Structure 1
Amino acid sequence: MAGSDDLEPIPPANRTLSWYDITSLWISMLGTRYGIPFPVHLRSAFGVRGAHVPSLLRSLVACGWCGIETWIGGQAIFLLLLPSSLKQSWFAQPLAWLGISVLEFSCFLLFLFIQLAIIWKGMDTIQVIEKYSAPVLILVILWLFSWAYIKAGGLGEMLSTPSRLDPTHFWYVFFPSLTACINNWSGLSLNISDFTRFVRSQPDQVFGQLGMPLFQGLYAFTGLAIASSTAVIYGRVISNPVELLSVIGGSALTKVIATLGIALTTVTTNIPANMVAPANALVSLSPSSFSFSRGAFLAGVLSIGFQPWRIIQSSENFIYTWLVSYSTIFAPITGILLTDYYIVNNKVLDVNALYSADPDGPYYYLGGYNVAAFVALIVTVVPTVPGFLHKIGILAEVSEAFVAIYDNAWFFGIFLASTIYWLLTRGRGKSKVRVDPAMSEPLVS
């Protein structure tokens, strides 16, 4: 099977990432054990050809997120660096057909170009920037938290904003919001093996995972506290940190430092989380046409088509028509992969066979496609469609059951797909599966 150096398994001796790198970055055991990337991992469950389907689905969502993150970086340039006179000119007037101004779109493209230039330098450059971005982000958050603490008059005042939801309405929005929060990280969770394949050992990978709940919890609390404090300080809630920094103002130097901080943290989030997956997917799809850099470049260009400013123009759009919607696909893919690796294959993969198109190979299945995986995926996705069509206004009325399934799509999808896949693959033989000792290492008990 045609391959590319960018997708080759990484032997333990060539792995350079430590627990700190994974903590700074945040189902990675497989990546560290076998050194294989996400598109190759998919071949075990979906087949050597069928793997392209979930890989490209993951890539499309990543392109959308790439656009959202790039929009945030572009807004930092627009709000913090440009002079007021320019922002009041006709260049800053929104165009009806585009939804934003020429000036905002130009800042968006500028920030995209900066990221593409970094990508062209290679993953080593990203790794270097990543090491310094995490401390910078922590400093920016601590500075904003300290400012809010002083201006609001203490932590009690910062958290004094009353709830705007009655108990009944709270539960109505809680579960879709929970699904959205989980799905916010599901994409990176799916293709985390793209990164852990470079990790030196399982202890580094396991210890590094602690960075996710630790820092995510810290960012969530400080973000909520700071946003709540703005209601006390300004009389209105400002949840966008870029907008808040522009309202705070300060000297030109302060604005430059703030912009650099936002840019640095956005770049080091966006490139690993949203450009690596599409790049690897395209390399896997056509190794002769794409290198890693070319794939990432194309992902950046495709992100423009998602018009991210429309996705995040309201919480309704962002949660229901973006975050919850793609959980209908990511959840079943996750369930299938977990079941395939831990239950069906008992954590044993034949790395050489994953790179082979031999019809007699264990991952060739039926013409290169594993029918069981696609049946599980399709059967799980179909019940979520009516709820999605209702949320975006195509269907005026649907059964409350379909709405509930859609609002809880992550839990519904991962459970149902796992169950169906397990039932369809029980007793599948493993006599052909071999393990290359040079490409794996013992798991942490």
Structure 2
Amino acid sequence: MSYGESKEMAKGLSSSSPVEVDGGAFGDINASFWNRIKGRATLQVSESRMVPGTRWSNKDLDPIEPEYQTWRTYNFVTYWISDAFAVSNWRIGSSLIAIGLSWKLALVAVAIGNFLTALVVTYNGIIGARLHIPFTIQARSAFGFYFAYVMIIFRVIISIFWYGIGTYAGAECVQSMIYAIWPRFRNIPNQLPESANITTGFMICYFIHFLICLPFHYIPPHQVRWFFNFKSIITPIAGFAIIGWIVSSTGGGSDIFSQGNAVHGSNLGWAFMNGVYAMVGNFATLGVNMNDFARYSKKPNSPYVQLIVIPIVFIIMMLFGIIGANGSKLLYGELLWDPLLIINNWTSRGGRAAAFFCATAFLIASIGVNISANSISVATDLTALFPKHISIRRGQYVCAVIGAWAMTPWNILVSAESLINFMSGYTIWLAPISGILIADYWIVHKEFVSVPDMYRPDGIYAYNRYGTNWRALVAFVVGFAPLLPGFAASVNANVDVGSGATSFYYLGYFYGFLVAGGLHVLLSRMFPARATMLHKREVVNPSF
């Protein structure tokens, strides 16, 4: 069905929603105190209005009701401003300089990569804005009711890893704040071995940041937009302050932009492609995740603004990273690819107040990125995997515990090269997922899907008794399998797979997205799943 039909249907289904007793994202504030206590004790969640019971779903996965469709067009703008102005993105811009690109070529890689990202994020986000459903439900129409769980597990693993990366970045902010307040904190004895890749002092900062983040996970998704609005104002101020200081300290900035490429020939070409790939990989998760926020959109076309805002804000932020990297080489004789390392130098030069303000701003940024790109998406996935016991709010706390401690991000963020490799690697799975989702809705089903059937294991999106759309399965495997050798070589330099496989890997996102999406369309045309092919004139009514 079209988004208009699904919206009207959602209104009709919402008239007798059950009371939520676990304090989840949409709890009824009029529920009695006793019901709340009892609900928490038994880990109960509210039933879905789309399917009986909580075996397959719960209320947090339902199409968003009109009163919770609170995101307007400007919220998508502030969302991306708040996501772009973060320590992690600054580091990515600096990493392009670290791998040998000039500032001009690095900026071209940034522009190309983020424009492609904007296309994927926007056209998948439109689906969520129209149907008001998350990725976990959307995936069922393309992959099949049961096979969609495999895609959910892929995303859970990836986003939990990214949560750990974000927690590490936030701990750096806390460390810089403490340095500004108490410079002698630098001299805390380290009781951990060098092989741990983390010191005792930083572990203290890491734990403090983990505790600071926890209250923010209590904010429901339809209200978190206010935090993004606040963050979109505070963090850019800090970024411009740092860049202004660097340009001023280097005599106007002309020397910053005079440095050329550090690599040449074919190495330069592949370094450039690696940079483009890193840009796409930077927010490849949101090419899949965007519906978890776009579902709260008040207007179905609001996500289109992302086509403009994403390239602009990320070009600005990556330029900050490029200026910071080149400027730090001129000021300190070494490339500081992390803005907090630059801030830390201020504390020994009498700039403690400025250092504290900028570090605090970046702390706010890191919390926002972890919520927008990671914790809410993981929580939505966990809600789909364990609908009897997990709500979006609970799922965020589960993500926080596992992501911050189980994946040891300090072992990943050791160097610029390792960050690039990590960012690039996981896209070999996200690219085909995104390609199939977009191709399925826009081309295969021509924008007409049955939202109620996405919630039922025996609906039209079961495809067969195994709940698997074999067309999407084949397309997914073909989309990532040829990239595995290059991925292995990227993760472990001792693996020799030949230069051809490595070079092909640098084109992995484009291959995975286009081939998986195209093959899904081809197989769906050759062997159509006729039961899922709806028409505008058809009205799909729920059977409950």
Same fold (TM over 0.5): yes
The aligned amino acid for 1:4 is: N
Shift of the 395–88 alpha-carbon distance from structure 1 to 2, 3 Å rule, reads closer
1:236 aligns with 2:334: yes
Distance 2:471 2:214 in 1: 38
Amino acid of the residue matched to residue 153 of structure 1? G
Q: Does residue 1:163 correspond to 2:226, yes or no?
A: no
What residue is the counterpart of 2:281 in the other structure? Answer: 183
| 1:433–1:65 CA distance, 2 compared to 1 (3 A) | same
Which runs of structure 2 are paired with 1:125-136 in the superposition (5 Å)? 126-136=224-234
Corresponding residue number in structure 2 for 1:266: 366
Which stretch of structure 1 is more off in the superposition, 234-243 or 391-400? 391-400
Residue pair 1:279, 1:292 contacting (<8 A) in 2 also: yes
**Residues 11, 364 of structure 1: CA spacing in aligned structure 2 closer, same or farther, 3 A cutoff?**
farther
Q: Once structures 1 and 2 are overlaid, which stretch shifts more, 100-109 or 360-369?
A: 360-369
Q: Distance in 2 between matches of 1:293 and 1:349?
A: 29
2:502 counterpart of 1:403 = yes
Q: Distance in 2 between matches of 1:252 and 1:437?
A: 64
Paired amino acid for 2:144: G
Contact between 1:80 and 1:245, CA under 8 Å: does it hold in 2? no
How many corresponding residue pairs? 436
Return 22-31 or 276-285, whichever deviates more: 22-31
Residues 124 and 32 from structure 1, CA distance in 2 versus in 1: closer, same or farther, beyond 3 angstroms?
closer
Contact 1:276 1:296 in 2 (8 A): yes
1:324 counterpart (424, 436, 442)? 424
Identity of aligned residues (%): 23
Larger CA deviation: 249-258 vs 270-279: 249-258
Partner deviation per Cα, 1:378-406 (whole Å, 9 max, x = no partner): 22222111112222337632233321221
- Residue in 2 aligned with 1:73? 170
Question: So what's the TM-score if we normalise by structure 2?
Answer: 0.76
Query: Following superposition of structure 1 onto structure 2, how do residues 4-403 of structure 1 map, counting pairs within 5 Å?
Result: 4-12=58-66, 14-26=68-80, 27-82=124-179, 83-90=182-189, 92-96=190-194, 98-123=196-221, 126-249=224-347, 250-303=350-403, 304-320=405-421, 322-358=422-458, 360-393=459-492, 396-403=495-502
Amino acid at match of 2:519: I
Q: What per-residue deviation string (whole Å, max 9, x for no partner) do you get for residues 245-273 of structure 1?
A: 11122454333322220111111111111
Query: C-alpha separation between the residues in 2 aligned to 1:127 and 1:316?
Result: 34
CA separation in 1, counterparts of 2:133 and 2:330?
Answer: 50
Higher relative contact order (Cα pairs below 8 Å, separated by 6+ residues) = 1
CA shift at 1:361, angstroms?
Answer: 2.2
Change (3 A) 1:308 1:383: same
8 A contact 1:81–1:255 mirrored in 2: no
Letter in 2 for 1:201: K
**TM-superposed deviation, 1:72:** 1.0
CA pair 117-434 structure 1, distance change in 2 beyond 3 A? farther
Q: CA separation of 1:329/1:131 partners in 2, compared to 1, >3 Å: closer, same or farther?
A: same
1:16–1:351 Cα change, 3 Å: same
Q: CA deviation at 1:409?
A: 0.9
Between the aligned partners of 1:81 and 1:382, the Cα distance in structure 2 is 46
CA shift for structure 1 position 80: 3.2
For 2:507, give the aligned amino acid.
N
Distance 1:280 1:333 in 2: 17
Q: Secondary structure at the match of 2:530?
A: coil
SS of alignment partner, residue 60 of structure 2: helix
**CA shift at 1:93, angstroms?**
4.9
Q: 1:117 to 1:438 in 2, by over 3 A?
A: farther
Gaps of 5+ in 1: 440-445
TM-score, length-normalised on structure 1?
0.92
Q: CA RMSD in A?
A: 2.2
Q: Is the 8 A contact 1:95 1:102 kept in 2?
A: no
Whether contact under 8 Å (2:270, 2:503) holds in the other structure is: no
**Partner SS for 1:159:** helix
- 2:517 maps to 418
Cα distance in 1 between the residues matched to 2:146 and 2:168: 34
Structure 2 gaps, min length 5:
1-50, 81-123
Supply the AA of the counterpart residue of 2:289: N
Structure 1 position 106, deviation (Å): 2.3
